[in-house]
Each structure stands twice: as C-alpha cells, then as structure tokens.
Amino acid sequence: MEDKLELIVPPSNRATPRFSGEDLAHWAWTEPSVWTNPMLATLEHHSVRGGKWHSLIDKVYKEGNLYSAYREVAANKGAPGVDNITIEDFMAGLTRNMDKLERQLRDGSYRPQAIKRVHIPKPGTSETRPLGIPTVRDRVVQNALRHVLEPILERQFAEHSYGFRRAPANDFPFQPRGLRLREKRIVIPITSKRVTTLRCLASL
C-alpha cells in the first residue's frame, strides 16, 4: 500500500527549503502548500492587515493541502467511521474522493458525517472508555483545517507559555534560562465530537 500511495499522492515538499532567514526557520513544521514565505513573514511579524486573517477557506481546499492531509490520515492507519469506508477504500477512489471534497468545501456544501462511538478498554481495569471515530473523509478535512489554523493560533501564545504547543521544545525561541522542559503527550477534547493528541511541555 505504501508504494501505491507514493505513486498516487505527490511526495510532500515539507522538507524543501523555503526560508530566507533564521526568523522563519522555526516555522518549518507548517504545511508548505498553505504557508508560503510571504505568509509566514506576515505571521511572524504580526503584520496582517487589521489584525485578522481573511479568505482562508481557499487554503483549506487547496489541492496540495488536501493531499497532504490525506497522507497524514493514511499514515495514522485509523479505523473507519460510520460509513464503514476504510483508508484502503478511500484510496481506491482517491482522485474522485478528493475532487468531491474540494468541490464541496469550495461551494459550501460540505457537511461532516456523524461520529462513530466505540468503547475501548481502560488499561489495568475492566472498565471501558468511549471513543469517537470520524469518517476518513472528515479526518482529511480536519487535518486540512488544522494546517491552516494551527500556525495562527500558535503565534498567539505568549512567549513564556509552553503548554499545548504544536512545535517541539527545541523549536521555541523564547525558553527562559534555567528552565528545563520535558515533553509528554496528552489527550484533550477539541470539540464534543473529536479528541486529539497534542504535545504538552511541562517544567521539571
């Protein structure tokens, strides 16, 4: 499947150098099909007009962004949602599925499907905990949205704030002297229908 995936989905250009100075290097984790150098410079220097970003939806349904989001979903190898469409099923009609998603996001007709509720065992106990599983198509859209919004939200953190950050610890340019950080993974609810895992940096 991995070889076939590489043939269908163009390789990500995330590692392609696209920075002209050290002031932008810590944004290397952003999605390059969305965040160009001029956009990153605007983000870095808080120079967006009126302090608000506009017309971002076209970045969400941009072909390169959607395919990059799909690659992440496929790599995660998650279970199917309420429509019972697996990642393999989605890939079998990948071009058609991605064209449909782009069209629906563009014309505003996209609607997320219901969340599949399953119960998984709690380690060390006989109890279970509920887990919500979105469909593959919705996970693609969620990742595409995250590629667009995450850098904007990341930039709004205070310089001394390290909790729930997207970038690794060594990417933060403003670590206080004498503060040792460790990284751990935690699970937090993003909406009532979605749970995701983020990095949390805590002082030792």
Burial tier of 41 (Cβ tally within 10 Å: 0-12, 13-18, 19+): middle
Better-scored residue on pLDDT, 23 or 62: 62
What HEC string does 48-97 produce? CHHHCCCCCHHHHCCHHHHHHHHHHHHHHCCCCCCCCCCHHHHHHCHHHH
pLDDT for position 15:
42
Domain spans of the chain, in order of start: 2-156, 163-204
Which residue, chain included where needed, has tokens 């563009």?
106
pLDDT at 23 over 90: no
Task: Judge contact between 134 and 144, C-beta under 8 A.
Answer: no
User: CA separation (Å) from 17 to 37, 84, 116?
Assistant: 10, 39, 40
Percent of the chain at pLDDT exceeding 70: 66
- Residue 108, C-beta contacts closer than 8 angstroms, at least 6 positions apart: none
Torsion, Cα 85 137 197 175, to 10 degrees, reads 150
pLDDT for position 20:
55
pTM exceeding the 0.95 threshold for the entire prediction: no
Which residue, chain included where needed, has tokens 């014309």?
107
The 10s digit of each residue's pLDDT in 65-117 is 999 999 999 999 889 999 999 999 999 999 999 999 999 999 999 999 999 99
- Helix ranges (H only) for the chain are 2-8, 22-25, 37-44, 57-60, 63-76, 87-92, 94-107, 136-155
Span 153-167, mean pLDDT? 71
Distance CA 53, CA 42 (A): 10
Strongest mean pLDDT among 60-69, 151-160, 163-172: 60-69
pLDDT for position 162:
67
Better-scored residue on pLDDT, 204 or 61: 61
